[in-house]
Chain A
Amino acid sequence: MVKLTREPIDTASLVDAAQSPEAGAVVLFLGVARRLTNGRETTELAYEAYEAMAVKELQSLEVQARDRWSLAECAIVHRLGVVPLGEASVAVAVACPHRREAFEAGQWLIDSLKERVPIWKQEHGADGRTEWVHPGRTNVE
């Protein structure tokens, strides 16, 4: 299951959905809006996506992960719009028979999402500045 949402991510229901008698291990990863980045204070984050492509890329990640690991459940949810500090911008929940593959699959999914899914983060600084984050490219605004 993959989803983009403008609402807070209901992480408890993701864990509930992942938990089953077939899966001895459930791993939940949350990316959380953080106050400090390289010493700079952020007041909130905002995310935007090329939505049709982001969904397609997320679905492709789920298919690849299901091919590679024996996943009983695989859920990736990314929030769009403003995300207040301390709230989750992304959640990855995987369920597997054993913990090793659950950790591996979860790590691979979030790493791959950050590499190729067309979603962008804008940091709103305490100094009033807003800045799109484009890794490899700084001071774009």
Chain B
Amino acid sequence: MKVTVKLFAAARDLAGGDQLTVELPGGATLGELRKRLRQECPSLGPLLAHAMFAVDATYVSDDAPISPHAEIACIPPVSGG
């Protein structure tokens, strides 16, 4: 399945765009997505190690499965305030 990930802040700058699309096997988890993103875009690696992920605007852990229709976002360490 094709999975598109929204990117923000330094992640967007490092990837050179506000989203990345990668191919993953059906039933893949967020943890597998994290690994695939690191392979596809090595410059994201150090930031990915500290990033969280959100599915449909809710934080999820790495063992959560990915639905191809969900909105997935990479959330680098936040710095609001």
Q: Are B77 and A136 in contact (CB under 8 A)?
A: yes
By size class, the interface of chain A is: 20 to 34
Quick check: is A117 within 8 A (CB to CB) of the other chain?
A: yes
Q: Are A114 and B10 in contact (CB under 8 A)?
A: no
Q: Which residue of B lies closest to A134 (CB)?
A: B77
Q: Are A114 and B50 in contact (CB under 8 A)?
A: no
**Hey, which chain A residues are within 8 Å of B46, CB to CB?**
137, 140
Q: Are B10 and A118 in contact (CB under 8 A)?
A: no
Quick check: is A56 within 8 A (CB to CB) of the other chain?
A: yes
Given A50-B73, A52-B57, A140-B46, decide whether A132 and B78 contact each other with a Cβ distance below 8 A. Answer: no
Q: Are A120 and B81 in contact (CB under 8 A)?
A: no
Q: How far is the CB of A38 from chain B (nearest CB, A)?
A: 14
Q: Are B81 and A90 in contact (CB under 8 A)?
A: yes
Q: Are B13 and A114 in contact (CB under 8 A)?
A: no
Quick check: is B31 within 8 A (CB to CB) of the other chain?
A: no
Q: How far is the CA of A135 from the CA of B47 in the complex (A)?
A: 10
Q: How far is the CA of A122 from the CA of B81 in the complex (A)?
A: 12
Q: Which residues of A contact B (CB under 8 A)?
A: 31, 47-50, 52-54, 56, 78, 89-90, 110, 113-122, 132-137, 140-141
Q: A120-B76, A120-B79, A137-B76 are in contact. List 19 more A-B contacts (CB 8 A).
A: A50-B6, A54-B80, A89-B80, A90-B80, A113-B80, A114-B81, A117-B80, A118-B54, A120-B8, A120-B10, A121-B80, A121-B81, A132-B9, A132-B79, A134-B47, A136-B77, A137-B50, A140-B10, A141-B10
